[in-house]
Structure 1
Amino acid sequence: MARSETESERLKRIAILNARLPRTRAIAQGVLRDPKGRVLLCELSYKREWDLPGGVVDPGESPATCVEREIFEELGLSVTVGRLLAVNWLPPWRGWDDALLYLFDLGVHHAGELDPALYLRREIAGAHWRSIADAAAHVAPYTARMLEVAADAEHPLYLENSEPGRTR
């Protein structure tokens, strides 16, 4: 008869697995639109490409909570996460390991709701409303592709490197 493990043994086993199993980063971003249908892009102080609002999910934090928190901290804007637009697996890029990016619909907001005085300046140099077509000139290629495929999706998509993923 098999002996059940003690709580101490169970925690040791989990610690070993946590140390050895892959750890994929989680990123949460949102598509925030203005009444003209343009999307909000953040001009970041620490990299050349602009990006969608959001950020890296903290340990123990849900992606939906993350995107709401990040947008409040960085832009001073309170948003409520809407429906999930896509989950996008991103391969290693520019020294970063792979990641899962959760893209949420954040609804429509008016440009006047953004106050540059509230921006977290160590991260946000500016915020700009751009059409999805114009976004490609400012964002990383994977972000441009993801916006083209997922921003108006009728149901959540699974993407790999911003391309439709496997269907079988």
Structure 2
Amino acid sequence: MASEELNENEVMETTRRPDLESEQGRRAFIRVLNARMPKKRLIAQGVLRTEDGRIALCELVYKKDWDLPGGIVDPDESPADCVEREVREELGLDVSVRGLLAVNWLPPYRGWDDALLCLFDLGCVAEDTLERVVLQRREIKAVHWADAETIEERTAGYTAEMLAGVALDGREDTAFLENSAHRDGM
């Protein structure tokens, strides 16, 4: 078959008796499994900071809490590429991922299903960097440098806790978090 698409009869046949001996049969079976497996939302955010440790937070159009730059990872996009793209689109800044700070599993929150959040280090930049941002006004009202107190006051609790646990404590290794807290024994 030249096309990767299957009609409904072929899908039914594949789910009953897949021909796992042929590449075509294996690929058809994988497509059926892939269509039926759960999908989890993946978020990529970045920590962009000044030399004195303040962190860039975005004041968003669509929610009260300030948040880190980033967004939802598109299909077939890497999380690192996503955060670089989002910062470029929403703030007009070209940044490069310097490392992974944490992977944070987030339970359902305010009507959203659970998700995985990849938190990346975007490095230190000059104090005047935010003066040069070009905001995507349909999403971002403003961007601010925030110290630990401002982070606690202005961000959602899970964001403040995540940042306190990995970005503000000088941690060197990548953390695995559940609901923004270190998992016991990790």
User: Does the alignment reach a TM-score above 0.5?
Assistant: yes
Large movers: runs of 4+ above 4 Å: none
Identity %: 55
Sort the Cα spacing of 1:16 and 1:59 in 2 relative to 1 into closer, same or farther, 3 A: same
Q: 2-side partners of 1:128 and 1:28: how far apart?
A: 19
Query: Which of 16, 22, 28 is residue 12 of structure 1 equivalent to?
Result: 28
Q: 1-side partners of 2:23 and 2:76: how far apart?
A: 21
Q: 1-side partners of 2:20 and 2:74: how far apart?
A: 33
Matched-pair contact (CA < 8 Å) for 1:30–1:67: yes
Q: 1-side partners of 2:133 and 2:185: how far apart?
A: 45
Q: Which runs of 5+ in 2 are unaligned?
A: 1-18
Q: 1-side partners of 2:23 and 2:114: how far apart?
A: 33
Sort the Cα spacing of 1:112 and 1:106 in 2 relative to 1 into closer, same or farther, 3 A: same
Amino acid paired to 1:155: D
TM-score scaled by length of structure 1: 0.92
TM-score scaled by length of structure 2: 0.83
2:127 maps to what in 1?
Answer: 111
Q: Which runs of 5+ in 1 are unaligned?
A: none
2:181 maps to what in 1?
Answer: 163
Query: Which of 54, 73, 96 is residue 112 of structure 2 equivalent to?
Result: 96
Query: Which of 42, 49, 69 is residue 26 of structure 1 equivalent to?
Result: 42
**What is the RMSD of the two structures over their aligned residues, measured on CA atoms?**
1.7
Asked which structure has the greater CA Rg, the reply is 2
Q: 1-side partners of 2:138 and 2:20: how far apart?
A: 51
Give the alignment of 1:130-149 within 5 angstroms.
130-149=146-165
Describe the SS at the equivalent of 1:136. helix
**What's the CA shift string for 1:78-101, capped at 9, x where partnerless?**
111011110000111111111110
